[in-house]
Structures are given as C-alpha cells and as structure tokens.
Amino acid sequence: MRRIDAEEIEEWRLLEQIDPWGQLRLDYLVASICQVTLMPWTKKGETLPLKDFLLSFKPKDDQSEQSMKAALKSAVLASGGKVIKKGKEDGNDIDTGS
C-alpha cells in the first residue's frame, strides 16, 4: 500500500468540503429530498433551509471518569458479562453489580 503525505490528506479534506462523498453525501441527498417534498406545502416566499433537514450529531458533554466507568459496567452487566476488578486474583474478583 502506498503512503499518503499530509499535503495529499489536506487536498482530500478540501475536496470533500467542495464535493462530499460517502455518508455525508447521502445525508445531503436525503435532506434535499425532504426539502423538495415539503415545498408544495410552504407559504409563498417562505424558504426551507437545507440545514434544517440535515442530521446533527452534537458531541455529548464531557463525562467524568467515574460516569464513564459506571456506564461501561452497566453495559457489560446488561449484556450478561462479568466485571472483574483489576488486581484481584482470588475467587472474589467478580463484581455482579449488586
């Protein structure tokens, strides 16, 4: 596999901003279909901005280390897994969540 230098990566990033591809392109396609579909029901002169139809994935607020550990522990226990405490080697190393 050939290597890509930073300059080429930057060119690809700029090209995607001009002409998106992949999932972003599909998001724009679906948004434009929704926009056009609603146009017959809009008032004369009213606009429907395309950005109103795009999905928005806002990052969650920063979580504390403790809340991330609790969420991970809940997910493991909910899926039937077992949480093993670090550094425990005897038979009492499994946390069943109780």
Task: Tell me the pLDDT tens digit for each residue of 26-83.
Answer: 898 999 999 999 999 999 999 999 999 998 777 667 778 888 888 888 888 888 888 8
Write out the two tokens for 25.
């392109």
- The pTM of the full predicted model, rounded to 2 decimals, is 0.43
Instruction: Tell me which residue range forms the domain holding 85.
Output: 64-98
> Which residues have CB under 8 Å from 34's CB, separation 6+?
53
Shared domain check, 48 and 68: no
Using an 8 Å Cβ cutoff, are 94 and 83 in contact?
A: yes
Residue 93 has pLDDT above 60, yes or no: no
Amino acid occupying residue 36: V
Same domain, 73 and 97: yes
Q: What domain count does the chain have?
A: 2
49 and 20 within one domain: yes
- Confidence grade of residue 91 (pLDDT, cut at 50, 70, 90): low
Q: Note whether 35 and 73 are same-domain residues.
A: no
Residues 6+ apart with CB under 8 A from 26: none
* Residue 32 shares a structural domain with residue 70: no
What number of CA atoms fall less than 13 Å from residue 43's CA on the CB side? 1
Same domain, 11 and 52: yes
